[in-house]
Amino acid sequence: MSVKNIAKLAVVAALYAVLTLFLPNQFGPVQFRLAEALDFLIFYDYRYAYALGVGCAIANISSPMFLDVIVGTAQTVLVLLFIYFITKKMKSLLAKYITLDVVFSLSMFIIAWELWFQGLVKSSALMNTYVGLVLWEGFVLTITGVAMYLVQKQNLVNLYLD
């Protein structure tokens, strides 16, 4: 891997961490992680899944939930790699974006479980917490996905990635 590629991965990891650390509502039952917009980069190079994992781990160190560094980071990397592999043969970028939005949002059961396991959510509220996480994640990914898709259609993403 070239120094240029390592630098790009490091910039993405740092950007994810900074966006998560310095914006409100990044942890807990109501999450609005604008940094999730970077998830769409996996369609340009699967190694961005690892960069996002590093950024997520760095950000999650400041989480009030001790398991977030492990569980949240693992969820991010594994789900992104899963999405990369199931969309690899898709021709339509729009279909890939929609798949990422749906699959990543539905994977929030892992975070709902983590919140319950750490006693931050009662058993009776677990399903409501999951639905809330899915809706917030879906909202963030839909809005940022549309923006990223339009940027990509103008070939602006390729200016950075090349």
Taking only the tens place, the pLDDT of each residue in 71-115 is 999 999 999 999 999 999 999 999 999 999 999 999 999 999 999
- CA distances from residue 88 to 40, 83, 138, 148 in whole angstroms, order as listed: 13, 8, 21, 18
Q: What is the mean pLDDT of the chain?
A: 91
Instruction: Look at residue 154 in the predicted model and tell me its pLDDT.
Output: 79
CA angle 141, 103, 114 (to 5 degrees): 90
Check pLDDT > 70 for residue 158. Answer: no
pTM, rounded to two decimals: 0.89
Check pLDDT > 90 for residue 39. Answer: yes
CA end-to-end distance (rounded Å), the chain: 14
Nearest residue to 125 (alpha-carbon basis) of 134, 137, 136, 113 = 113
The matching CATH number, chosen from 1.10.1060, 2.40.380, 1.10.1760, 1.20.1630, for 3-26+33-161 is 1.10.1760
Q: What ranges do the domains of the chain cover?
A: 3-26+33-161
Cα radius of gyration (the chain)? 15
Of the chain, the percentage scoring pLDDT greater than 70 comes to 96
Q: How many CB atoms lie within 10 A of CB 4?
A: 9
